[in-house]
Amino acid sequence: MVKQFLLILLIIAPITACKAQLSRLGTGVEYAGEIHATISSDDQAPFWLVHNKYGLSSIEGDFGYVRGSIHRSLNADSLRQWAIGYGIDVVVPHHFTSDFVMQQLYVESQYKNLRLTVGTKELPMEFSNPELSTGDMVVSQNSRPIPQVRLEVPDYWDIPGTKGWVGVKGHIAYGWFTDNNWQRTFAGPKRLYTNNTHYHSKALYFRFGNEQVFPLTFTGGIRVDCQFSGDAWNLLQRKDDTTYVDLSYVAMDNGIKSYWNALTFGGSDPNDGDFKNAEGNHVGSWHGSLNYQGNGWSVRGYLEHQFDDHSQLFMQYGWKDMKWGLEAQLPKNPFVSTVLMELISTKDQTSSVYHDATDDLPIQISGRDNYYNQQVYGAWQHWGMTIGNPLLISPIYNEEHQISIFHNRLRATHLAIAGDPCRAIHYRVLYTHMRSWGTYDFPLTDTQHNDFLMAEMTVKPNRLKGWSFTGAFGLNRGDLLKKSTGASLSIRKEGIIR
């Protein structure tokens, strides 16, 4: 029913938004075509040649694709109060988890600063540099986009009476996951997997400051996403502190009430038994960013605190797990334009102790949060790729075929630079060192580490309008993922149809 409803909206949204002016939808239409290939020395591709590509990649040593898209940006109606955009983006891959990928299929309409998007679209991260960062902790660019109905205020709206010093933006969305076949095939008949899972997201952010008057601004807020409803196989039901019962199949709640519970952290899952918890798998984070805008340069410091349940939503147990970042945009020069550093720690997770209150011991201790893992939905993933930060290694790497995150207690240092030596050339370099302690449930006897490196260059020849050529070199070293060296090449052509 939800999918049918979304399909109807997909068809009628632009019509109801601006019925009298549909003829303009054929103007401002752009196209793009791309061929990509990655080759590696091992059967596993280097980390940064795989991740933060909206799931359009594979961990296989050799993979590639042919891609074509047509889209109309909302900017085509920049002079109108009503703006309409749409896009279709299809991929024929090689050595992927599927033989055909509908990467994007969406329509969107915007009135002033209120936007409605219906369908599957690659959405930007809110606070992280899309080219240089490791990624946001809740939703990064690591997995395939999730089809959804999304209502948002995309740009900060100045609150009346504040004279432009306080702004607010946010969104609310509902959708569904599309990896049913992959989960069934990957997990097999005896391991935990879910199908027909629904999706919810909400966020609220504030901006304090006015760059037109004073160069220092602060932005911050909260985002919470959720997996809920659907069907689950091979999950466990907890009876007491030491006893679990195998459940071969459980139909989760799929009614309107589940949508409300996803929004409000209400309800409980059918397998909770006597240990009630909020319905679904809630993943969230608090954001904060302080930006100073100089004359031709800027510097920004930011942090993100992740939480998987109520224990880290507020500061009852203290905030020890963070992603800290520092980004500088340098004055124009032919060497380096942007420098970024991030420090990530997810070791604490409200400590290793967890205990639900019982008659024998009526004390509640909400430890062992187990980031990105959950007893019903397995992992915070889509098509095998972590939806959040990819350094919490994706389930697609699991040789045991468990839909689970085996490395969520980690510390990482990430360095990145980008530059434009000339108008036709752009480059970026990423380096990450990470160390994993495994998880609290499955700790490593000795910590494992990895070093990930990627150097990439894009060339857009002045004489070949619309053409670009991107080559990248990557390597993995360490004992967490396989040692690998590889390279990739992309050839892209884009332009305007009308």
Does residue 331 register a pLDDT over 60? yes
Which pLDDT does position 357 carry in this prediction? 57
Distances (CA, A) of 248 to 83, 221, 273: 49, 40, 15
Coil, strand or helix at 64: strand
Whether 189 is covered by a domain: the verdict is yes
Confidence class for position 428, pLDDT limits 50, 70, 90: very high
Say how far apart CA 349 and CA 409 lie, in whole Å.
Answer: 8
Does residue 20 register a pLDDT over 50? no
pLDDT tens for 446-467 read: 999 999 999 999 999 999 999 9
- Over residues 81-85, the mean pLDDT reads 92
Q: What is the DSSP string of 211-235?
A: TTT-SEEEEEEEEEEEEE-SEEEEE
Which pLDDT does position 118 carry in this prediction? 97
Whether 58 is covered by a domain: the verdict is no
Q: What is the CATH number of the domain that holds 210?
A: 2.40.160
Helix H or strand E segment including 494 = strand 484-496
Rounded to an integer, what is the distance from CA 299 to the centroid of its chain? 24
Q: Which of 78-87, 118-127, 156-165, 388-397 has the lowest mean pLDDT?
A: 78-87
The amino acid occupying position 143 is: S
Whether 280 is covered by a domain: the verdict is yes
Does residue 4 register a pLDDT over 60? no
Does residue 108 register a pLDDT over 50? yes
Does residue 266 register a pLDDT over 80? yes
Whether 35 is covered by a domain: the verdict is no
For β-strands 101-111 and 425-438, DSSP reports them as unpaired
Whether 354 is covered by a domain: the verdict is yes
Residue 256: which domain range? 124-496
Whether 149 is covered by a domain: the verdict is yes
- Number of domains comprising the chain: 1
Whether 309 is covered by a domain: the verdict is yes
- The residue length of the chain stands at 498
Q: Is residue 184 within 8 Å of residue 190, measured between CB atoms?
A: no
Helix H or strand E segment including 13 = helix 2-17
The amino acid occupying position 292 is: Y
- The more confident residue out of 151 and 361 is 151
Whether 76 is covered by a domain: the verdict is no
> Which region, left, alpha or beta, applies to residue 176 given φ > 0 means left and ψ of -120 to 50 means alpha?
beta
pLDDT tens for 24-71 read: 788 889 999 999 999 999 899 999 999 999 999 999 999 999 999 999
Query: DSSP assignment, residue 257?
Result: H
Does residue 473 register a pLDDT over 60? yes
Confidence class for position 277, pLDDT limits 50, 70, 90: confident
212 C-beta neighbours (distance < 10 Å), count: 7
